A and B are shown apart, each in its own frame.
Chain A
Amino acid sequence: MPLTREDLTTVTGIESDQQTLEVSLDQLKNLVSPRAFTGETMLLNMGPQHPSTHGVLRLLLELDGETIVTCLPDVGYLHTGIEKNMEAKTYEKALVMTDRIDYLNNLGNNLVYSLAIEKLVELDVPPRAQFIRVIIAELQRIASHLVWMATHVLDMGATSVMLYAFRDREYILDMFEMVSGQRLMGSYIRPGGVWRDLVPEFMPALHEFVYNYMPYKLDDYERLLNNNPFWLDRTKGIGVITAEEAQAWGLTGAPLRATGINFDLRKAEPYAAYPELEFDVPLAYNGDVFDRYYVRIQEMREALRIIRQAMEVLPGGPFRSDNRKFVPPPRSELGHSMEAVIHHFKLWTEGFHAPKGEVYVRVESPRGELGVYLVGDGGPKPYRVHWRTPSFYNVQAIGRFSPGYMLADLIGIIGSLDFTLGDCDR
């Protein structure tokens, strides 16, 4: 039966005035195949409230039977205008908004934003802060990968892994609460260092976690999944991405490394204390859903290895820069130093001024390349902050790499690309 305009309105959700509808239908004509208009294929709306879209992602699917012909991702449901809001705050105050961008990589977002400011104003960070940043960033990577694994494997029908992964993530969130006072939105990494020094109970907890707890749990996950015939059937050979296409479509992180390209920003453009630590970049070569799973599991093991090294060589000394023009003085100085009071007042009312110029800084977030493009205009507020978020490009890639697979495989492809919609929409 041919599709009428009313059907299309129901499917696409576009129901504004007549003129908007005309334009939208015209645009849709170029995006789906002509068979959709004769009724040979079916247009199906998936999301934005579908449980396996990992947030509010809407997909407009064109299906031939159960095979996907076209997939059009529609994002923007979680757009909160963070880039615009950051322009209205001082550099330091805008930091709290970065936690809210990628809600599974909160402290990693602090890190990249702090690195961008430090590059723009040429601020040095003491070595102890560099190592604390690495420990925090790697813990965040494990926490994020655990949520990815929990939801991805749950979508494929394995409930127990979800329960185990969330249990283990709690240990990491408890540690974040120790250091920053917050489980999720820590704002712990600040320009010039970190907010405060590690608390005494943090190191024993971390030691217990990386030596006696997590390695054995990772073994358990691999025992549950690696030889599980259902898991292998649904992941091997599904959602294959070639190395050339992954680069052309801007994919980074595990989706890129699963195609065999050794690209990790911790190695390619080292930041924080990564140059002083030894670790491998896990690779796989088939570029399918299973390989992306495999790469991430190995990444968790490497993260544990990095944390172990960083714990051993964690230097003493200050935990944030003593450049008072950019970093507030410690509370203890305020009682007896007039200069400290002046600096404190200036930093929390006016903020520091950054020079005119533009920098682009990127780090390896759990999802891939997370970049901040920061423009300073000589004033105390960022003139423009742009977030290059890995999820934005991973969501785009669904539309390219899911056609040709079955509808049920789409769930696996979505999960394996590992995006958060907060990260995508900002």
Chain B
Amino acid sequence: MTLRETIEQLRTAHPDAITDVREFRGEWTVVVDRDHLVEVMTACRDEHDFTMLTDVCGVDYHTETPRFAVNYHLYSMLNKWPLRVKVYAPEDDPRVPTVIGVYPGANFAEREVYDMFGITIEGHPDPRRILMPHDWTGHPLRKDYPLGYEEVQFTFNYHRVQAKKPHPQE
């Protein structure tokens, strides 16, 4: 059995859950409806030997609809092939269900998705921020979150830049 056939089996078993199957540079992506995510992930683990969830990461396709996507990179130790499961979430309702029940290792990675993109992870046991400070406002990896910068200090603007520096003045 090849990965292609595995995906076809998955698609036949969950016709209304899997909305799209894509291939790019030899990597297969299965787009799953978010309401059926846990169901598909359980099938991947139990029936198709994807024993390992290697990565969870969000993407912000700003100005497109749906705006957010969450990628789950699965790996099958037995068959030695990877699979990407992709879930979309719209801008006005950014939430995806947690997969901790299927893969307990998703805990930190899902917290990171919440922290960086503001995508609510439904049913997460510990929905705190992880990388940013707990009282931070905004979600930094969103495309509409500006990247801050510091003005470069030269002789001609030395005092103007110095005055804006965050450390206490003498």
Option from A24, A85, A263 in Cβ contact (under 8 Å) with B147:
A85
Contact residues in A for B97 (Cβ distance below 8 Å): none
- A360 and B73: CB pair below 8 A? yes
Closest chain-B Cβ to A260's Cβ sits at a distance in Å of 12
Option from A83, A248, A383, A386 in Cβ contact (under 8 Å) with B55:
A386
Residues A257-299 near B (CB distance < 8 A):
261, 263, 268-269
Closest chain-A Cβ to B151's Cβ sits at a distance in Å of 16
Contact residues in A for B103 (Cβ distance below 8 Å): 248, 250
- B134 and A16: CB pair below 8 A? yes
Contact residues in A for B133 (Cβ distance below 8 Å): 76
- A268 and B80: CB pair below 8 A? yes
Residue of A nearest to B24 (CB): A357
Contact residues in B for A375 (Cβ distance below 8 Å): 59
- Total A-B Cβ pairs within 8 A: 109
- A373 and B24: CB pair below 8 A? no
Residue of A nearest to B130 (CB): A76
Contact residues in A for B25 (Cβ distance below 8 Å): 119-120, 122, 357, 359
A81-B140, A359-B24 given; A371·B104 CB < 8 A: no
> What is the interface of chain A mostly: helix, strand, loop, or mixed?
mixed
- A247 and B128: CB pair below 8 A? no
Contact residues in A for B108 (Cβ distance below 8 Å): 75, 392-393, 395-396
A31 within 8 A of B: yes
Interface-facing stretch out of B34-42, B46-54, B155-163: B46-54
A163 within 8 A of B: no
One digit per residue, 1 when the CB lies within 8 angstroms of any chain B CB and 0 when it does not, for chain A 82-101 equals 01110110000000000000
B121 within 8 A of A: no
Residue of A nearest to B142 (CB): A84
One digit per residue, 1 when the CB lies within 8 angstroms of any chain B CB and 0 when it does not, for chain A 17-56 equals 0001000100100110000000000000000000000000
- B55 and A359: CB pair below 8 A? no
Residues B33-86 near A (CB distance < 8 A):
51-55, 57, 59-60, 71, 73, 77, 80, 82, 84
A400 within 8 A of B: yes
B131 within 8 A of A: yes
B125 within 8 A of A: yes
| CA distance in complex: A252, B55 (Å) | 12
Closest chain-A Cβ to B150's Cβ sits at a distance in Å of 13
| CA distance in complex: A24, B25 (Å) | 44
- B27 and A362: CB pair below 8 A? no
Closest chain-A Cβ to B88's Cβ sits at a distance in Å of 14
B positions within 8 Å CB-CB of A: 24-25, 27, 29, 51-55, 57, 59-60, 71, 73, 77, 80, 82, 84, 103-109, 112, 116, 125-135, 140-141, 145, 147
A positions within 8 Å CB-CB of B: 14, 16, 20, 24, 27, 30-31, 75-76, 79, 81, 83-85, 87-88, 119-120, 122, 247-252, 261, 263, 268-269, 357-360, 362, 369, 371, 373, 375, 383-384, 386, 388, 392-393, 395-397, 400, 425-426
